[in-house]
Amino acid sequence: MLVRFTKMHGLGNDFMVIDLVTQRINLSEDKVRQLADRHLGIGFDQLLLVEPPTNPEMDFRYRIYNADGSEVEHCGNGARCFARFVRDKQLTTKDVITVETAKGKAVLTIHPDDRIEVDMGAPVLLPSAIPFIAEEQAAVYPLEVDNQIVHLSAISMGNPHAVLVVDNVDQAAVETLGPALESHSRFPAKANIGFMQIISPNAVKLRVYERGAGETMACGTGACAAVVAGRLRGLLDENVKVYLPGGALQIIWKGGTDDSVMMTGPATTVFEGQVFI
Ligand SMILES: N[C@H](CCC[C@H](N)C(=O)O)C(=O)O
């Protein structure tokens, strides 16, 4: 079957986007992995599926799969591309779009200057809900990995994140600590691992080793989790510019556990294609 898709990225975090409003297909985990392969398939960090909502109060349903075929609860960069996609494809004319995700909902706003803002919902800090194995909730947890003790924050943005503060992201042990922490036994559903360097109370540099995809050029939920972690540690103000290898996101969190994390950044369409599935 020939299926239409669009290749997009958010700061280099790249996606294959398929419209399942006007097309109907079923994808196995193996097929997702094959499509994700940068030699044998299309190549992407995540696959984004655009579907009609199951909840009539929402505009769309938003399903996300990592390159390893695992379905995940949220993708921040993908949410901005989702908004761009449904407007460019005229699947909606709305400026404010509500999408149903595996863990709730996200509200996407396309501003007149083309900036896309996403209400990413409130962070989840209760260890059992992240999930993260811990005696009690804390801003920072000591954790033994690779014969050393690291100190990390554990936060869910719908998907699980660990955030470490490092002196210099360029010298951080992302390639070794990333996979070791991604699959650490204290993260029963695995985790995305952020390495954050504090530049000022309003600016950080961040690299993310993503669950199911490896290090990416940017991670939207990771940027949100990093700002939450920095605020919990008393290191960051409410409005923070997060510099990732692929570019910068603006993240705002007022600091209340019921306050949403707001993320603003770009979304880019690269090409349209068709693929046999
Ligand atoms: N790898 C993530 C999903 C993609 C998140 C990321 N690409 C973003 O922009 O938030 C996970 O397994 O939870």
pLDDT, tens digit, 9 for 90 and up, residues 143-171: 999 999 999 999 999 999 999 999 999 99
Asked whether the predicted pLDDT for residue 6 surpasses 90, the reply is: yes
Q: Which of 219, 225, 229, 267 is catalytic?
A: 219
What separation in Å is there between the alpha carbon of 145 and the centre of ligand 1?
23
Return the percentage of the chain with pLDDT > 90, whole number: 96
Q: What DSSP assignment string belongs to the chain?
A: -EEEEEEEEETTEEEEEEE-SS------HHHHHHHH-TTTS---SEEEEEE--SSTTSSEEEEEEETTS-EES--HHHHHHHHHHHHHTTS---SEEEEEETTEEEEEEE-TTS-EEEE----B--GGGTT---SS--S-EEEEETTEEEEEEEEESSSEEEEEE-S-GGGS-HHHHHHHHHT-TT-TT--EEEEEEEEETTEEEEEEEETTTEEES--HHHHHHHHHHHHHTT---SEEEEEETTEEEEEE--S-TTSPPEEEE--EEEEEEEEE-
Return the percentage of the chain with pLDDT > 70, whole number: 100
- pLDDT for residue 79: 98
- Determine if the pTM surpasses 0.95: yes
Asked whether the predicted pLDDT for residue 274 surpasses 90, the reply is: yes
CB 99 within 8 A of CB 88: no
Instruction: Tell which one of 48, 159, 183 to mutate to probe ligand 1, the residue whose CB is within 8 A of the most ligand atoms.
Output: 159
Whole-number Å distance between alpha carbons of 88 and 269: 10
Task: Tell me if residue 81 is catalytic.
Answer: no
φ, ψ (nearest 5 deg) of residue 134: -155, 150
Domain 127-259 in the same topology as domain 2-117+266-276 = yes
- pLDDT for residue 54: 95
For 206, the token pair is: 């961040």
CB 58 within 8 A of CB 50: no
Burial of 55 (0-12, 13-18, 19+ CB in 10 A): exposed
Mean pLDDT of the chain, nearest integer: 97
- pLDDT for residue 52: 96
For 247, the token pair is: 């570019």
CA-159 nearest atom, ligand 1: 13
What separation in Å is there between the alpha carbon of 82 and the centre of ligand 1?
14
The residue-averaged pLDDT of 43-66 equals 97
Query: Which residues lie with the beta carbon below 6 Å from any ligand 1 atom?
Result: 13, 45-46, 66, 72, 75-78, 159, 192, 210-213, 216, 219-221
Asked whether the predicted pLDDT for residue 207 surpasses 90, the reply is: yes
Write out pLDDT tens, residues 101-146.
998 899 999 998 888 999 999 999 999 999 999 999 999 999 999 9
Q: Is 147 annotated as a binding residue?
A: no
Whole-number Å distance between alpha carbons of 177 and 150: 10
- pLDDT for residue 45: 98
Q: Where does the pLDDT of residue 210 fall: very low under 50, low under 70, confident under 90, or very high at 90 and above?
A: very high
The residue-averaged pLDDT of 263-275 equals 97
What separation in Å is there between the alpha carbon of 72 and the centre of ligand 1?
7
Instruction: Tell which one of 11, 16, 46, 48 to mutate to probe ligand 1, the residue whose CB is within 8 A of the most ligand atoms.
Output: 46
Helix 76-88 / helix 220-232 crossing angle, nearest 10 deg: 140
Task: Tell me if residue 224 is catalytic.
Answer: no
Q: Is 220 annotated as a binding residue?
A: yes
Half-sphere exposure of 166 (CA within 13 A, CB side): 20
Q: Is 66 annotated as a binding residue?
A: yes
Q: Which of 16, 32, 50, 75 is catalytic?
A: 75
What separation in Å is there between the alpha carbon of 207 and the centre of ligand 1?
13
Q: Where does the pLDDT of residue 95 fall: very low under 50, low under 70, confident under 90, or very high at 90 and above?
A: very high
- pLDDT for residue 114: 85
Say whether domain 127-259 belongs to CATH 3.10.310.10.
yes
- pLDDT for residue 103: 81
Tell which phi-psi region holds residue 234, choosing left (phi > 0), alpha (psi between -120 and 50) or beta: left
Domain extent listing, the chain: 2-117+266-276, 127-259
For 81, the token pair is: 């591309």
Q: Are strands 268-276 and 141-145 parallel, antiparallel or unpaired?
A: unpaired
Residue nearest to atom 12 of ligand 1 (CA): 211
Predicted ipTM?
0.98
Q: Does residue 104 or residue 202 have the better pLDDT? A: 202
Spelled out in words, what is the top-level CATH class assigned to the domain 2-117+266-276? alpha beta
84 CB contacts (<8 Å, ≥6 apart)? 8, 110, 116, 267, 268, 269
Bridge partner list, 23:
none
- CA 218 to chain centroid, in Å, comes to 8
